[in-house]
Every structure is written in structure tokens, then in C-alpha cells.
Amino acid sequence: MDIKELKKYIIENDKVEYILENLDCQKIKFHNSGYWTCGNPPPSDNPNAVTIYKDNLKVINYTKDMSEPSDIFTLIEYYKNINFFESLKWICDLLEIDFYKDSNEELPKELLITKQLISMRTGSKREDDDDTPIKPLSEEIIKYYPAIGNTMFFDDGIDYQTQYEFGLSYDNESNRILIPVHSEIGDLVSYKGRLFKYKLNKDEQKYIYLYPCPRNKLLFGYNKTHLYIKKENWVWVGEAEKFVLQLWSYGYYNSIATGGTKIGQTQIDKISRLGVPICFCFDKDIKKETIEKISERFTDGIDIYAIFDEDNLLKEKESPSDQKEIWELLVKNNVYKIK
């Protein structure tokens, strides 16, 4: 469920008061100029502690220290002591909406075909235009892939404890190490398989997804790392899933991965929602200009940093996380402010 669509649904179906009531807000009152006021849940007794604007669901809480900018989801996060994605799930459950509902399911077949034809004709398909919905996998599928460690990832700096912690497994049919991919609320949505061979032939694909999922709408690792991100008030953002696994092995638990440098707008929005400074940690061959262009897509007010290997510690195409000693030197000496 897209946040913009959910906000639109809440506004158009006049669900704000219903949500506030279920949050135990007190003395809810709508004002004709287009906003609600209410009190915080008991024992608060200030009837004007909170203001919620109807046109965009932005929130001002005059008595509580909430992250800025705030909206109705931030209010739920604060009251329920949950993260942003859990607040979306809470509202979807309350309003009996499918959290994983694909917006394109609502489009008539003719419009879907038209959209595909326009994309093919103009070549305008963006990285974020992947129409594959995020859907949880069946429990029956999960049973086929019990957690098991492997020597290949261990040799790459991912200890066995981390491999078990993240549920890495193996598929005998495809001879692939399987990395479970979860949604931000923790549901398993796919497996990314790494061919279990040290030297690949030219026609062999190193990584594949065993089940379709829109990687440009997911943040790998978030379901396990979001509490550490909040605690450290900082997030390391890498390209590959191995980045998160390696950092976890090194004792750095506040990271996520985007699955590549082509970052979708949904990912931009989700990273922004973390409300913490962001540090991109892309491979050696990614130019500064690329990261600067990505940074421009974030709204003003978000602090963005990046690791640049100015001391030439990395090999070409090597990730900053590939070796613990080098990672720690880069963190100490090569973190630069971008925005």
C-alpha cells in the first residue's frame, strides 16, 4: 500500500476521527477552516494538544517531542511506540485494507495495457515503475528452505552467526545460496539466490530472485536494523544485501541496502522516513556525481553523507564493507557531507 494512496483513502472516506478515536485521543473536534484538534491519550488533559490538517494529514503536537515533519503516521508511531511501516500496517488493519494491495489492481485492464504500450513506445520506464506487487510468500514455501550456513559467505566476511540470524539457506535445485528478502514489517517476500560457484562462466547469472518482487521498493535488512538505526541516529546505506550482512558481522547493526545504485522513489521515501542522517556506502567504481544526483532527490533538511575512498584503500568495484579493517578506516577518515 502506497502512503500517498493511503492518505487519499483516509481523507476521501473521512476516516481521521475514527483513527483518532482508536488512538484514544480525547475531545476530538473538527474546525471549519479545515483541521481537527484533540488531546493526547489519558492522562493528558489538554484538549488542544494536537492539530491535524485535513488536506494533507500533517500533524502538530504542541506537548510532545515528535520527529519532524510529522503526519498522522508519525502520531501513530509515537503513541504506539512502533516504526513507520508498522504504523501503516496498523491503519490498514483498522480500516480493513490489504497492506500489500497493489494499486494497479484497481486499474481497468485497458488502462494497464495503455500504460505498458506508452512505456514501450517512449522508453520512459523508470526504475521505480516495476509493477510487481510486494506479496508475502506462503508458509509452505518457507518450509522448503531451512537456515543453513555456507563457507562462501563466511570467506566474504559474513560469520555463521549472522548467516543464521538472517536465515540464509540453500536451494539444491538451482545450486544457489538463498538470502531471504523481507518487507519492512518482517514478512518474507522473496529469496535472492547467489550461484554457489567461486568462478562463473560468462553466461551464468550470479544473482537471481527465486520469486518476483520489486527490489526498487524494498530496503533489505530494515526489518532487523530499524531499531538500531533509531538508536544510533544514523543509517549506512549500501548497494547489496551482503553489505548489511558484513556490517552486522562487524558489529554495525544500523544499515540497509537498496539492491543497487538505481534507487526507486519508493525507496527514497522510505529512507527519508527514517528521520536520521544518511550515509551512502557504494562500491569503489560509483562516481561522486552519481551519489550527488541521488541526494538531489531527497527533500531539503535531510543530512546526507557518503563514503569516498580518497585514500585508495579499495580495489576497483570493491565494496567499502568487504574487509573489516578497511571499513573501519573508511568510517574514521573518509565520510564526507553531501547535502
Tens digits of pLDDT across the chain (339 residues): 678 888 999 999 999 999 999 999 999 999 999 999 999 999 888 999 999 999 999 999 998 877 667 899 999 999 999 988 899 999 999 999 888 765 444 444 443 444 344 344 444 444 455 667 788 888 788 888 888 999 999 999 999 999 999 999 999 888 999 999 999 989 999 999 999 998 989 888 999 998 888 899 999 999 999 999 999 999 999 999 999 999 999 999 999 999 999 999 989 999 998 989 999 999 999 999 999 999 999 988 899 999 999 999 999 889 999 999 999 999 999 999 998
Cell of 185: 514489517
Grid cell 553466461 is found at: 203
In a domain, 117, yes or no: no
Q: Pairing between strand 188-195 and 176-182?
A: antiparallel
73 & 38 share domain: yes
Q: Answer yes or no: are the C-beta atoms of 259 and 215 closer than 8 Å.
A: yes
State the pTM of this model: 0.82
27 & 41 share domain: yes
Q: Any idea what the CATH number is for the domain that residue 69 is in?
A: 3.90.580
258 & 208 share domain: no
In whole angstroms, how large is the CA radius of gyration of the chain? 22
Alpha-carbon distance of 254 to 234, in angstroms, equals 7
User: Helix or strand or coil: residue 178?
Assistant: strand
202 & 245 share domain: no
Length of the chain: 339
Give the rounded distance of the alpha carbon of 144 from its chain centre.
Answer: 26
Q: Answer yes or no: are the C-beta atoms of 324 and 313 closer than 8 Å.
A: no
228 & 203 share domain: no
Neighbours of 138 (CB within 10 A): 10
In a domain, 297, yes or no: yes
288 & 194 share domain: no
